[in-house]
Chains A and B, each alone.
Chain A
Amino acid sequence: MKENPQEFESLRRLLVLKRHEVPPPGYFESFSAGVVGRIEAEDVRESGGLLRQVLALFRARPAISWSFCVASVLVLFASSTLFDPSPAGVQLPALDGNFAASAPEPTSRLSAASLVFSTNYQTAALDADPATATNLPLRDSLFSTPFYQRVEPINFTP
């Protein structure tokens, strides 16, 4: 087929306009990540696993992962401000001597905590009733909190 170069010159110029049609800015920056995300999502779908699906979704759509992070932080912040995390009070094991009650009234949460955790239970318990109670050496609990044990004499004779 013979082509006359001038024959479609105007049309060729008009078709140049198509080269100026561009996708939204930044479109190609995330395109390949979208493709890889789709491949990973398909792999996960084949192998199953909800958690991995979520992770693949996060990788494919960074906007969703950022939204999730922000939402998580907001929930944590809201829960920490709405609910008082401090315990109502620590009931200390005691023998006859009610040293917890005799402790000075805390002036603040911090001072109360300091008071509770700095008290020497061992000394207090031993001093409580040395005549009637046999106090074994203290053991540490799993959480390294002093654990107080009290043993009283039992009469086995009928």
Chain B
Amino acid sequence: MQPQLGVAASARGAEPEPAVTEEQELVQRSRDGDLAAYDELVRRFQERIYATIYHMTSNHEDANDLAQETFVKAYRALKSFKGDSSFYTWVYRIAVNKTINFLKQRKNRTHMSLNDLDFNVENDPELVALVSHNTPRRDARISELQEKLNAALQKLSEVHRMVVVMHDVQGMPHEEIGRIMGCNVGTVRSRLFYARQQLQALLSDYVKS
């Protein structure tokens, strides 16, 4: 999974970048009913949309359903897409609203269905610093950490979790998060601060304060 966001998607320059123009063309063709063009659009953003929903739900099956529903809904609503924001921001907003509604309905019946960790986890310097080299059951410790982390995230409110996921996990800038969530940068920052404080308290056994 590549959670890093492409800057081009949200960049606003004097002249539209080729990627943006191409995206607009794909949107127009999709609006005219060209499903091949829409397939291309889905391919461009599927990983980021799926990742956000997955990190919010901690459940692969739910994330799969919601991500698919997001793109289906976006296709149906393409006629109402005016192009004020990028297609990416617009479809992201649909995903966020859909996920938050889903989580409100699902409240108190959380079932985690976590994805496996990729092979690079052992070589990530950030994680190596957290997990001791000399621990014989290192895999077990990482899995345990993964579970505790997801459980702690599930204890946050939907909006606080969303901000942490988008900023700290996916690396999105505050401004982009504000555009997607329909709030100003100050609100994003304060939500992020509060969410981190809560997470720090919940994971005090694993992180230094």
Contact yes or no, B116 A13, CB < 8 A:
no
CB-CB nearest in chain A for B194: A1
**Chain B positions within 8 Å of A14 at CB level:** 130, 145, 149, 203, 206-207
Chain B's interface size range is: 35 or more
Q: Which of the 9-residue segments B15-23, B47-55, B81-89, B176-184 touches chain A?
A: B47-55
In the assembled complex, the CB of B118 is this many whole angstroms from the nearest CB of chain A, namely: 5
Q: A19-B169, A28-B46, A31-B46 are in contact. Are A1 and B193 (CB under 8 A)?
A: yes
User: Could you mark each residue 179-209 of chain B with 1 if its beta carbon is under 8 Å from any beta carbon of chain A, else 0?
Assistant: 0000000100110010010011001001111
Contact yes or no, B127 A13, CB < 8 A:
yes
Residue pairs across A and B with CB atoms within 8 Å: the count is 116
Q: Name B203's contact: one of A3, A11, A23 (CB within 8 Å).
A: A11
A70 within 8 A of B: no
**Chain B positions within 8 Å of A3 at CB level:** 189, 193
Contact yes or no, A32 B168, CB < 8 A:
no
Contact yes or no, A36 B54, CB < 8 A:
no
Q: How far is the CA of A13 from the CA of B118 in the complex (A)?
A: 17
Contact yes or no, A40 B35, CB < 8 A:
yes
Contact yes or no, B1 A32, CB < 8 A:
no
In the assembled complex, the CB of B75 is this many whole angstroms from the nearest CB of chain A, namely: 6
**Chain B positions within 8 Å of A1 at CB level:** 186, 189-190, 193
Q: How far is the CA of A101 from the CA of B102 in the complex (A)?
A: 82
Q: How far is the CA of A72 from the CA of B43 in the complex (A)?
A: 33
A22 within 8 A of B: yes
B71 within 8 A of A: yes
Q: Name A13's contact: one of B72, B121, B130, B209 (CB within 8 Å).
A: B130
**Chain B positions within 8 Å of A19 at CB level:** 1, 3, 169
B26 within 8 A of A: no
A8 within 8 A of B: yes
Instruction: Beyond A16-B124, A17-B146, A20-B118, list 14 extra A-B contacts (CB 8 Å).
Output: A1-B186, A1-B193, A12-B168, A13-B130, A13-B207, A15-B169, A17-B142, A19-B3, A21-B116, A22-B116, A22-B118, A35-B75, A36-B42, A42-B72
Q: List 12 A-B contacts (CB under 8 A).
A: A8-B200, A10-B208, A11-B203, A13-B127, A15-B164, A23-B64, A31-B50, A32-B46, A35-B72, A36-B35, A36-B38, A40-B35
